[in-house]
A and B are shown apart, each in its own frame.
Chain A
């Protein structure tokens, strides 16, 4: 079983739709949860960062973490064509300061159609 599972999609939605992206994980030691956005031929850029369980909102983006279910989500409201990218979930455990060792999902390719 992979440590992090993410549906690769692709996911295609009309402009203005609410997008839901999800990852499940198996390692109960994970405490830091991130969503990265990657445009084609570019490097990943951090979108949202959450520690432990709970919700975090930033503009049109909301990240949710449910540690009891080992499930994390990213919601995008009022999606825009500029949101078209690959979204990668990533997580890490804090062990001796090694929280830089991110475990990534495969990424979900999202296309928002005008």
Chain B
């Protein structure tokens, strides 16, 4: 079974440009999450989808970030326009079942998309 896949693995862009990160969750997982790790900081929650609906986007830093999940399958996270402080590793995770996923107690993380803004 394929795990959570993320694309691109690394993106280097200029300040002011736009970048779109993509996440394909494990097939059948209703819950999809975005987390981010800025250099030197902890991994932090950004938002949570249940199927195609945003359940919680309290961690989104500002309105330059837009997340979508088409038809409850893959998700995209767009940063427009990118700023220097957006550099970091963006992790996507998924889990099965109802919101939370703690029936199994596990969020399955992808390998992350590293974003460098110059």
Contact = CB atoms under 8 A, between A and B. Distances in A.
Contacts of A88: 43
Contact of A100 (B4, B91, B99): B99
Nearest to B114: A41
A99 interface: yes
Interface in B24-69: 31, 33, 35, 41-45, 48, 56, 58-59
A14 B60 CA distance: 42
Interface string A93-110: 000011111111111000
A44 B44 contact: no
B83 interface: no
Interface of A: 2, 4, 32, 34, 36, 41-46, 49, 88, 90, 97-107
Give the 8 A-B residue pairs with the shortest CB-CB distance, closest first.
Answer: A43-B109, A49-B105, A104-B43, A46-B106, A104-B42, A43-B111, A44-B109, A99-B100
Given A36-B109, A101-B45, 8 more contacts: A41-B111, A43-B91, A44-B43, A88-B43, A99-B102, A100-B31, A100-B99, A102-B107
